[in-house]
Structure 1
């Protein structure tokens, strides 16, 4: 078995402690895309899968606690076969409990997918591609397992939305990260975090690449917003003293942002990339 990299070891520890945290914060957070509002980023990915009755195999890559697979399973759609893969045994245990056999789940890495060549119609992935080591190998694996003309759609992090709680949080976090004594541990490939980088990565073996900006609404009371922000990877890796300092500073900094109902604006910038696997033989 492949020994986890330092980044993978951290992610395994994080999701062992906080299994299901991504769905907890984003499963019901409304999202805007090109002027329209949708129920969540998960629903954007679920909608990529056609609703016709033909046979179709769908893989949720880094499926977490199975929320996206559950949305698809609730269709009770004839011919739809669901697969999930995740590194974390804790996330997979949560997915197993949620799905009750509605999907076939695998523990493994995206760099070595346990699926046959040209066996999958649709690959979906929610807030995971930007965290993965050796992303070019991941994309080579996607090209291998996707059928010619198959679809891949991923949600990844995007640009910061200015003027709200996330910007205040980021500004307060930055000096604390620089002051930490532990060496900084980068997660994933920075190219996945920019439009140009994504275009370059998906240039080979994919067609009809579309990238759309998303704004996810996580508004709430300041304490609730803090609870969502403290479970980001950056804040989680702070020392306890630095995290306590960040909490106090953040709650003070967002007080001027409070609206009449007591909430503050918290918007997450994300992107959705959707592409078609090349129909040319590989």
Structure 2
């Protein structure tokens, strides 16, 4: 039986399939001061090149953007798996990937794969939304081969910027007065380095790296991106309209000479090894 959070996420991705890859598939990202094409490309680069047999699972694969990056390699011996909670995302993934990956509808808490059958698990902006993450990690340990690895991009982290601070300042009182708006998504421990270290205690070689994802653009375009976040999505149309007007006024002084608004998304990349 689905939890309220899973029911909401299914509905969100029914209405907006492919939203994550559209927002972040081409957004440059910085890690340790070094630039990369996108947060997806960081995960793609975790997969070794070569001809040795290799099974890669994309956990919560969405519309298949990450799997497509891997399929484009035409790498001999590389087997691609994808699983997602949303049938609508999977429909988009099947259209995108054809027969390049084996796609399954299912939950991360009950993976339909044999023990020790996967070399590498990747996941993009999904783990921080999942129920019962302890069970998810137990399932990853079960399906990973000995010394198999997991690498995830997750939302949140210490990065702050003026435009996002203004958004949060305006959003919090609106959420506080919106019935049923603050639907909890995920485990709070995923939002901190200390919590992640606790959750991954049964893995080794844990690395947590902060990411800075570029979201610069005209204020209206930045606002459009913010409306596709889960918090803004749960607001009424009138509340969103009022928040938009307040946000555009608040960030007007932050615009650069070319009219763009500097904006950064905060993410983390978590990589660990199954003992």
* In 2, Cα distance between equivalents of 1:163 and 1:153: 26
Q: Does 1:119 align with 2:117?
A: yes
Moved more, 180-189 or 18-27: 180-189
Query: Paired residue for 1:229?
Result: 226
Distance 2:121 2:180 in 1: 36
Output the CA distance in 1 between the equivalents of 2:181 and 2:250: 28
Give the corresponding residue for 2:137.
139
Considering only aligned residues, what root-mean-square deviation do their CA atoms show, in Å? 0.9
2:252 to 240, 252, 255: 255
Match of 2:157, SS state, is coil
Kindly tell me: are residues 160 and 200 of structure 1, through their superposed partners in 2, closer, same or farther at Cα, counting changes over 3 Å? closer
Structure 2 residue aligned with 1:246? 243
Alignment length (residue pairs): 275
CA contact (8 A) 2:181 2:235 kept: no
Which residue matches 1:110? Answer: 108
User: Which residue of the partner structure matches residue 10 of structure 1?
Assistant: 8
Gaps of 5+ in 2: none
Q: In the alignment, does 2:253 pair up with 1:269?
A: no
TM-fit CA distance, 1:188: 0.5
Aligned position for 1:130 = 128
Q: TM-score, normalised by structure 2?
A: 0.98
8 Å CA contact 1:152–1:275 kept in 2: the answer is yes
Aligned to 2:258, the other structure's residue is in SS state coil
Query: Take 1:146 and 1:176, find their aligned partners in 2: how far apart are those partners?
Result: 43
CA drift of 1:253 comes to 1.1
For each residue in 1:73-96, what CA deviation from the matched residue of structure 2 results, as whole angstroms up to 9, or x when unmatched?
A: 000000000000001010000101
Of 211, 220, 231, the match for 1:214: 211
Runs of 4+ displaced beyond 4 Å: none
Give the corresponding residue for 2:95: 97
Deviation at 1:231, TM superposition (A): 0.5
With normalisation by structure 1, the TM-score equals 0.96
Post-superposition shift, 1:181?
A: 2.1
